[in-house]
Each structure stands twice: as C-alpha cells, then as structure tokens.
Amino acid sequence: MNSRFIIEGIGYLGSILVVVSMLMTSVKKLRIVNTTGCIIFTVYALIIHSYPAALMNFCIILINIYQLIRLGRQEENYRLIKGNTNSGSVPYLVDYYLEDIRKFFPEASMEGLSKCDTAFFIIYETTPAGVFIGNMEEEGCMKIWLDYSLPAYRDSTVGAFLYKHLPDVGIKKIVFSGRSEGHEKYMMKMGFVKTDEGYVKEL
C-alpha cells in the first residue's frame, strides 16, 4: 500500500473525528472525540512537517484535557433546588424540551406534569442540567414521573449527584413504573432494581 495514501488517511481520519465531535450534544463526549481527532491530526501534521498545525492541535489537546478534568469534578458545582410543577421554570423547561423528553418518556405531557406534586432542578453553576419530577406517595417514597438530564449533561453525573442528595430532602426511596424507551439501561446502571412495583432504588 502506498505510504502517501496511509498518511493522507491519517489526516482525513483526524479531520473527520474533529468535525463529528462538533455534532455532539454531550460536552464530555465532544471533548473526548475532539481530543482523539486532534491527537491523530497532530501525528499527521508532524509527519508532513506542518509544525504550526501540530502546535495548534497540541494546544487544543491540552485545553480539552483541562476541561475534561474540570468536568470530572462537576459534582462540586451542582446544586439541588426545589421547583414548582404548576408555575415558573419547571413547566417552561418541560415544555421546551418536550420533544426530546418523549424520546425517553413517550407518555410525557404537560397534562401529566400538572398531576405531579414534587419537582427538583439540578443546577450546574447557574444553568439547569436536569429536572426530577414525580409524586410523593408514602413517607419518604417518591414515584418518578420524569428523570431527565439536558443533552449537554447526559453523562450520568447529574443522576449520581441527584440520588446522593435526595435523602437530604427526605426522599429515601424512588420508584419508576411508567413506560420508557431506552431509559431502563440508565436506571440499571444507576443501581435501580426491577421489581413488581417497577424500577426501584433505595437511597
């Protein structure tokens, strides 16, 4: 195989990964794929002796690594804030993301939201990262109607923070018995157990 063809292939691969990373909604995945693409393109730039391009990509790699370390400490910047299901930011957020929400919770609707009595925001610094909505049943048990992370924060850190801090607000058990498309894998990953009640997590 022609060595020039291999070298050009390395360059194209790096470029494709950088472009693909720009299409990702998850910030963490974007950084990882972008870093991979930049590493490959740096190798290509060094092979063809394009040192300015190699330097630029090396700097981007360092920036991505710094941001990934920062994202790894994301929990330090999360806050759990009580919301209102009937007015304010909760209905606005659910309505705004309803199309995306229905990909995971096909039964979600504004009418369903109005029947819920408990809601929490997970805030990252000053930006909403997720919303947790449902009904308090027996003491300390909440039946989940919606457990949704915004696309940019869809890397399980929101859920890990939420489940760690729900006991601080008196919630010791959460149950999901609704219909969900693809959310089951996430729940099992986060420690839910499938029972006759539905998916249950003791906190």
Q: What is the pTM of this model?
A: 0.70
Task: Write out pLDDT tens, residues 111-150.
Answer: 999 999 999 999 988 889 999 999 998 888 999 999 999 9
Do 27 and 52 belong to one domain? yes
Structure confidence at residue 43 (pLDDT): 92
Structure confidence at residue 4 (pLDDT): 80
Q: Which of 72, 90, 114 is the last residue of a domain?
A: 72
Task: Write out pLDDT tens, residues 157-167.
Answer: 888 889 989 99
In angstroms, rounded to a whole number, what is the distance separating the alpha carbons of residues 17 and 15? 6
Do 81 and 63 belong to one domain? no
Containing domain of residue 25, as a range? 3-72
Our count of domains for the chain comes to 2
Q: Residue ranges of the alpha helices (H) in the chain?
A: 3-21, 27-47, 51-72, 89-96, 98-104, 110-114, 157-165, 183-189
Closest CA to 153 of 122, 174, 118: 122
% of the chain residues with pLDDT over 90: 49
